[in-house]
Amino acid sequence: LSVGAKMGCFTFIKVMMILFNLAIFLSGGTLLGVGIWVKVDGESFLKIFGTLSSSILQVVNVAYLLIVIGAILLVIGFLGCYGAQKESKCLLMMFFSVVLIIFIAEVAAAVVALVFTGLAETLLTGLVTPLLKEKYGADEAFTQIWNITMTEVHCCGLNNYTDFNNSYYFDMHHGYPRQCCDMQEPCNSTMAAEMALGYHHSCHPHPCGCPVQGCFKQILEEIRTNAGVAGGVAAGIAALEIAAMAVSMYLYCRLDEK
């Protein structure tokens, strides 16, 4: 290519880099602002957009998630946009490094999720089951989160209904949460066991699906069911990240020639 063509290509890619990262920067700022709004005044947010959850703690968790994602996007967008506009090798290299770290983390998380599912279940069982026994029914926010999860996912406990054996809730109510018996009360050990195996009369036919399994198994099943969509989204994000790193490295190298 002639010098003029090379400069034209460089300018075009530089402008695209600026616009793309400007969009990321604005998106990050929006998410950060919404996250702060939800954190500071979650009730007003729910009044405007509807009651998305009956758990205030869930709203707080969503706020933290939005704040973290928004802050990351702000940093990435700033480094890419300002680095390209100022033709700063330092900022472009920082942009490349941040995106590369995120890309590696995503790949590592995917590998762990695929290879160490059994290990993850074992670790979660060791961490979550004692909390269920101790806090479910005693801590209002913790109880609300699990009630919503078990109702929406149609599951019971982390592994199954036995997670509530010898728990605070079982000692107080002499039974299991109604989600373990497909919202039927009282939920005793016989009915919970039948529901877990799908032998109860209400399971045939059942609109939501039987048996009532543990939430970890149900969530894994949902992920497997939607693996195609999740994989497509993940592949699209990975492709964007690779393209962003390639463009930033191209600009970085072309600055030496300039």
Per-residue pLDDT tens over the stretch 18-42: 999 999 999 989 988 888 887 777 6
Last residue of a domain, which of 58, 86, 114? Answer: 86
Say how far residue 19 (Cα) sits from the centre of its chain: 27
DSSP SS3 for 26: helix
What was the pLDDT predicted at 173?
86
Instruction: Tell me the C-alpha distance between 150 and 234, whole Å.
Output: 27
What was the pLDDT predicted at 211?
78
Instruction: Tell me the C-alpha distance between 31 and 43, whole Å.
Output: 18
Would 203 be classed as within a structural domain? no
pTM over 0.75: no
* The total number of structural domains that make up the chain: 2
Would 1 be classed as within a structural domain? yes
What was the pLDDT predicted at 98?
93
The tally of CA atoms less than 13 A away on the side-chain side of residue 229 is 5
The three state secondary structure string of 74-131 is: HHHHHHHHHHHHHCCHHHHHHHHHHHHHHHHHHHHHHHHHHHCHHHHHHHHHHHHHHH
Residues 139 and 253 in one domain: yes
Residues 32 and 152 in one domain: no
Would 71 be classed as within a structural domain? yes
What was the pLDDT predicted at 142?
83
Residues in the chain predicted with pLDDT less than 50, given as ranges, are 51-57, 59-60, 206-208
Would 185 be classed as within a structural domain? no
pLDDT digits (tens, 9 = 90+) for 143-180: 888 888 888 888 888 888 888 998 899 888 888 988 88
Residues 4 and 127 in one domain: no
Would 108 be classed as within a structural domain? yes
Residues 252 and 154 in one domain: yes
First to last CA, the chain: 15
Would 95 be classed as within a structural domain? no
Residues 160 and 226 in one domain: yes
Residues 77 and 118 in one domain: no
What was the pLDDT predicted at 236?
86
CA distances from 100 to 33, 76, 242 (A): 26, 11, 8
Would 232 be classed as within a structural domain? yes
Q: Domain limits at 21?
A: 1-86
Residues 161 and 217 in one domain: yes
What was the pLDDT predicted at 47?
62
